[in-house]
A and B are shown apart, each in its own frame.
Chain A
């Protein structure tokens, strides 16, 4: 009998299997749990995330170290577990864990505290893990859809709230549309190269140097459209502000960090591993997209009065900065320093962004009370007098988002600007710095409301235990990464491992 899968495959995918089992377990247990014990589902979800992280640390990662490998492919090369994958897996789990902590009280207030919420969060993390680990476009597509469909439901989770319904409907229509375009591009690449594996696609594309054929350009454009939709870059950003505003606030936080990081992992995998030979086409495209993304998002954010919408535009602007890192690393040849600094910049940016943005959304989540929706800019007015600790944490997150030096946000921007200068994109670098100043204006507008205005009601803001833990972790990480960036930069450099290893490096040259 032929054996298709060996124990190695299962060890490499153990974190994913673990998380799936826990998600199914939550669905089953939810049927037996009485209404006032629904918070136990959150505990189960946390345990699942913990076990999955332990499986990465003690099985997958140790397995790689013991075998002295920098990468291990599994399931007949459709999955590749390398340091890049493991880095993103930890990032998704951290984002999901903090989201679960921040959701418990919020979902209770909304009277929608069902076990499915936590199961869907875990399922979407399973999808993200498949996206980060995927080396085969089939696995990447399935992971993308698993994540996206779970997120559609999460966005529409407040069934009785019109804004939530509407956000879910818009997100679903545009998301499914973009997935369809993306899949069309992938099918054309399959037709061009005869393989669904990214490395083989890259090899076949590299066999025809010179000007790429028209069909290759169409395939690239449709694939890139799908990818840019998923990371919400202008001109494909229309769903983002609507979905972010209507979704339950904790889900908005989750979408803006984990879902976005997963889309970035997929984008980097496809552009750097699969479509690297076509970079003469996608680099100019990304220059255009990143410039209009920074311009449009920063200008639109200036006039927003809804906090979630303002942060949605700010997150689109951050995507613009990250795209500049990809421009820098695509426009130099493989071993140049700009290549590594751009790569490091994107990964570090995603790491610090996870913590600072989740923290900011956490503070907004805590504004939701029994009779206050709490997502307009007036609702945060005078927060300093109602909840001094939360308002100071919010100030830290906002300053970090703006990229003020002693905080984490600075280092993400630092490496991106560095790589831009190393790759001689002086105009793009100055534009990016200019727009960062714009950013300071709208972030400080929130801070101004918190500290300089009278509160509408002067009652103290109650903050749940889970929220306190979540805010504590995010604020701690934001400050520590800012003051001691050294170990984190080393982690990011470690996660580039495979880019340095021989077979892939040979492809990239």
Chain B
């Protein structure tokens, strides 16, 4: 049995972060892009909580703030998406093409 060390958490967090970045850059659906952003923020939380095993509570407090922020961002994001959908009837990012150059 290999004991779980801080490094293991960091590797998982890094994987989540990379998956989130890939999701944001490649997905068409805005809802999935928002979910990928949540994935990035959860990678941050995992990092912070893993590090706070070494250094004390600061990291966990930061993680709670990041969770709050993610909730606020999702709420505003879905609100903006609904306003957009009412006028345009689509949630695909490649059809968001009124403003360019």
| A156-B83, A159-B83, A194-B55 known; A166 vs B41 contact (CB < 8 Å) | no
Residues in A with CB closer than 8 Å to B37 are: 173, 176-177, 180
User: Is B47 in contact with A187, judged by CB distance below 8 angstroms?
Assistant: yes
| Nearest CB of chain A from residue B69's CB, rounded to whole Å | 5
Partner of A184, one of B43, B51, B69, B87: B43
Partner of B73, one of A145, A159, A181, A190: A145
User: Is B80 in contact with A172, judged by CB distance below 8 angstroms?
Assistant: yes
| Nearest CB of chain A from residue B73's CB, rounded to whole Å | 5
User: Is B40 in contact with A181, judged by CB distance below 8 angstroms?
Assistant: yes
Contact with A along B40-55 (1 / 0, CB 8 A): 1101100110110011
The yes or no answer to A152 lying at the interface (CB within 8 A) is yes
Q: Report B54-96 residues with CB < 8 Å from chain A CB.
A: 54-55, 58-59, 61-62, 65-66, 69, 72-73, 76-77, 79-81, 83-84, 87-88, 93, 96
User: Is B80 in contact with A169, judged by CB distance below 8 angstroms?
Assistant: yes
User: Is A173 in contact with B33, judged by CB distance below 8 angstroms?
Assistant: yes
User: Is B47 in contact with A184, judged by CB distance below 8 angstroms?
Assistant: yes
Q: Report A147-201 residues with CB < 8 Å from chain B CB.
A: 149, 152-153, 156, 159-160, 162-163, 165-170, 172-173, 176-177, 179-181, 183-184, 186-188, 190-191, 194-196
Partner of A169, one of B17, B59, B81: B81
Partner of B87, one of A141, A160, A183, A300: A160
Residues in B with CB closer than 8 Å to A179 are: 69, 73
Residues in A with CB closer than 8 Å to B79 are: 153
| Nearest CB of chain A from residue B6's CB, rounded to whole Å | 8
User: Is B54 in contact with A194, judged by CB distance below 8 angstroms?
Assistant: yes
Q: Which of B40, B54, B62 has the most CB of A within 10 A?
A: B62
User: Is A166 in contact with B98, judged by CB distance below 8 angstroms?
Assistant: yes
Chain B interface size range:
35 or more
Interface of B: prevailing SS: helix
Residues in A with CB closer than 8 Å to B76 are: 149, 152-153, 172
| Nearest CB of chain B from residue A145's CB, rounded to whole Å | 5
| A173-B30, A196-B62, A246-B99 known; A180 vs B47 contact (CB < 8 Å) | no
User: Is B65 in contact with A152, judged by CB distance below 8 angstroms?
Assistant: no
User: Is A165 in contact with B88, judged by CB distance below 8 angstroms?
Assistant: yes
Chain A interface size range:
35 or more
Residues in B with CB closer than 8 Å to A184 are: 17, 40, 43-44, 47
The yes or no answer to A341 lying at the interface (CB within 8 A) is no
Number of A-B contacts (CB under 8 A): 125
The yes or no answer to A404 lying at the interface (CB within 8 A) is no
User: Is A180 in contact with B20, judged by CB distance below 8 angstroms?
Assistant: yes
Q: Report B3-48 residues with CB < 8 Å from chain A CB.
A: 10, 17, 20-21, 24, 30, 33-34, 37, 40-41, 43-44, 47-48
Which A residue's beta carbon lies closest to that of B96?
Answer: A166
The yes or no answer to A82 lying at the interface (CB within 8 A) is no
The yes or no answer to A390 lying at the interface (CB within 8 A) is no
The yes or no answer to A116 lying at the interface (CB within 8 A) is no
User: Is B58 in contact with A190, judged by CB distance below 8 angstroms?
Assistant: yes
The yes or no answer to A379 lying at the interface (CB within 8 A) is no
Residues in A with CB closer than 8 Å to B80 are: 152-153, 156, 165, 168-169, 172
| Nearest CB of chain B from residue A408's CB, rounded to whole Å | 31
User: Is B99 in contact with A242, judged by CB distance below 8 angstroms?
Assistant: yes
Extra 4 A-B pairs, beta carbons < 8 Å, given A183-B40, A187-B51 = A145-B72, A156-B80, A169-B30, A190-B48
User: Is A138 in contact with B65, judged by CB distance below 8 angstroms?
Assistant: yes
Residue contacts A-B, CB under 8 angstroms, 20 given: A138-B62, A141-B62, A141-B65, A152-B76, A163-B98, A165-B83, A166-B96, A168-B80, A169-B80, A176-B34, A176-B37, A181-B40, A184-B17, A184-B44, A187-B59, A187-B62, A188-B47, A190-B47, A194-B54, A196-B58
